[in-house]
Chain A
Amino acid sequence: MFKADILGETLKDGIEALTIIVDEARVHLGKDGVYARNADPSYVAMVQFELSAKAFENYETDEEVVTLDLKKMQDILELANRTDVIQMAIDDNRMALSFGDLKYTIALLSPYSIKKEPKVPKVESAAHVVITGKEFRWAVKAAGKVSDNIALGCANTDFFMEALGDADTMRLELSKDQLVDVSRTDGKSDEVRSLFSLEFLIEMSKAVGKASEVSLDIGKNIPLKVGFDFADGNGSVSYLLAPRIEQE
């Protein structure tokens, strides 16, 4: 049994954050809130998602794990306003979604239909950078004009994003006073960088762009961690993205 009421905005934003990585997700409906960890089918990217029970208007659960067809939910929720309160209920392998005068009942997916939860790789980053969501989204979009990949790095505490196309390049550099926050977690000052596929970052930046602040954990040829909060701090999303190998 699961019964909850939630603001349309929170549910829409939460589902969008997940669908950037997966169309179907295994979701834990725990006592303190909702939790999910899912990787894309190629294991290049992963999302860790938490939404506290406090983000709900009303929240009751027997604690269960369900497999949701997120794409279908997203499609249905297009009809809901961001200010609507959405009533959710899960019972007998079906989920009811009600808002306004509408009531949808959709089937849950078989838990065997998707991969088991991925292990979270141990990543020791070299730098922690915080920038505004808007700025991150803008830089990723700018890189897309010249290339299909982008390097994120830090030289001392100067953060940079760099895209190298066949003939064209883009570079954005932000020093300490232009960033919300920056620190070297490895205590060093040398340049560290990793290269990433823009395909994933462009998608991620759509969800990230709404957040006031985004944290980026960067290192030398290691996965990038992109973290941000939503639902007035009651929800958090963190993406991990595996790097590309740079050719000499």
Chain B
Amino acid sequence: MRAASEELSRKELLLNSFKLGKIDKDLFGPTPPSAFVGRFGYPEVLAGPLVSPAGEEVSLSDTPDKWLYLSREEIIGFRSNLVRSNFKLNVKDARDPGRLLKETQELAMAALPVDVEVKFLKPPRRAIQFDGILTPMGPSGTVTDIEIVENPQVPKKVDALADDRDIKATEAAILLYEASISPYQISRLLSVGTLGKKRLIVPTRWSITATDSMLGENLLKRVRNYPENADVQLFVSEAYGNHFEILFVPRAYAFGWTEMWISQKGKVEIGDLYEDAMNKPAYMDGGYYAARFSALEFLERVRRQASIYVMREVKPTYDIPLGSWVIRELVKDAFSRQPLIFGSVTDALKSVRTRINVPPNTLFLKKHLLQTRLMQFD
């Protein structure tokens, strides 16, 4: 638990976290590696690597799968040290990349930090932005030149798939995942246009959700063939004002997602989506697919299928969103502990409601968990 840091106000937190001093026009230093593609102006977008001033430790700065036990100050701290360089390009430029894009693609493929030299048009100003899907983003500036100054270490599988122009991007992503490349790196590779037949630059926000959705879909193909989970199980996790209750019910695979955002004034905003054999979610929601991916990873590991219901309560203390990794990693984290076992769905829901306030008529409750099937009455 990180109670101490959660008591800090937003302003104090930002003051404590922010370390970067004045930034020069010419920046030399490591990239974790990391690259960002914006979505504004699509298909003409801004893209480029994220680079820290020399001497900074960046090996953790772009690996959210290792962040869960860090404080918010630490996370915001090392993210605010990364300076985003921007150059404009068309998303189709991935088919015939110019020099700046080539350098960006090459560093994005690396497994370890790489030293880079970037020249900005003007010295970037100190700033930081937060988002529900994206990780916190530091200062940015228009770049005139990017040069990698050391040989990046690229995993063999990444190198091979970046060279392969006959394979679809989805298939390439699945092969990378099966070769134990982290989904965070896969999403980065997809974003900078290094995968697939018809290469495209993909805004980072979309590539994160696309990766969750694609890899999840691939896991689901196998999960659908596994036997049903034995019990009604409830997994719980909480960090950064995000509380998760994850219910597994022994039935055919279906996935439900309800999030409850509680404002400072106590108002609750609700997000409510589900999928099953016949229905897809009504819209593409980043949090939904992040949670679904982690839940499917778990089912694949235990070789079971189930109807899964992820309930997320966002407390007013989560006033600075950190990105969708919080969802992906907290759902994963819940599975690292023993679940509570219940005799029925209604008993499990009673337990959930002692901790968070889930509405009685959410889509997944109506369509699945509280709707019986005729074959139950044989």
A residues sitting closer than 8 Å to B (CB atoms) are: 39, 41-46, 118-119, 121-123, 148-149, 166, 197, 222-223, 240, 242-245, 247-248
5 additional contacts (CB under 8 A) given A119-B375, A222-B377: A42-B276, A42-B277, A118-B375, A197-B366, A244-B372
Instruction: Please judge, given known A-B contacts A242-B376, A245-B346, whether A44 and B371 are in contact too, CB under 8 Å.
Output: yes
B296 → chain A closest CB, angstroms? 21
- Quick check: B371 and A247 within 8 Å, CB to CB? no
Distance from B13 Cβ to chain A, minimum over Cβ atoms (Å): 37
Contact A44 B373 (CB under 8 A): yes
Do residues A43 and B375 form an inter-chain contact, with CB atoms below 8 A? yes
Total interface residues on B, CB under 8 Å, equals 20
Structural contact, B374 and A245, CB atoms closer than 8 A: no
**Bound complex: CA of A117 vs CA of B374, how far in Å?**
13
Cβ-defined contact, B374 with A46, below 8 A: yes
B186 to chain A, nearest CB (A): 34
| Per-position binary interface string of chain B over residues 318-345, scored 1 when its CB falls under 8 Å from any chain A CB and 0 otherwise | 0000000000000000000000000001
A-B contacts counted at CB < 8 A amount to: 63
Residues on A with C-beta less than 8 A from B346 are: 245, 247-248
B112 contacts chain A at the CB level, 8 A cutoff: no
The CA of A118 and the CA of B377, in the complex, are separated in Å by 12
Q: How far apart are the CA atoms of A42 and B373 in the complex, in Å?
A: 7
* Contact present for A242 and B377 (CB under 8 Å): yes
Q: List 6 A-B contacts (CB under 8 A).
A: A42-B373, A119-B378, A243-B372, A244-B366, A245-B346, A247-B349
A46, B373: Cα distance in complex, Å: 10
0/1 string, B338-376, CB within 8 A of A gives 1: 000000011001100000000011000010011111111
B378's contact among A41, A122, A148, A197, by CB below 8 Å, is which?
A122
Closest to A247 in B: B360
- Complex: how many Å from CA A43 to CA B378? 13
Select which of B361, B369, B370, B377 is within 8 A of A121 by beta carbon: B377
Nearest CB in chain B: distance from A226 CB, A: 14
The CA of A242 and the CA of B371, in the complex, are separated in Å by 7
Query: Within 8 Å CB of A149, what residues of B?
Result: 366
- Please provide the 3 A-B residue pairs with the shortest distance between their CB atoms, ordered closest to farther: A121-B377, A43-B373, A242-B372
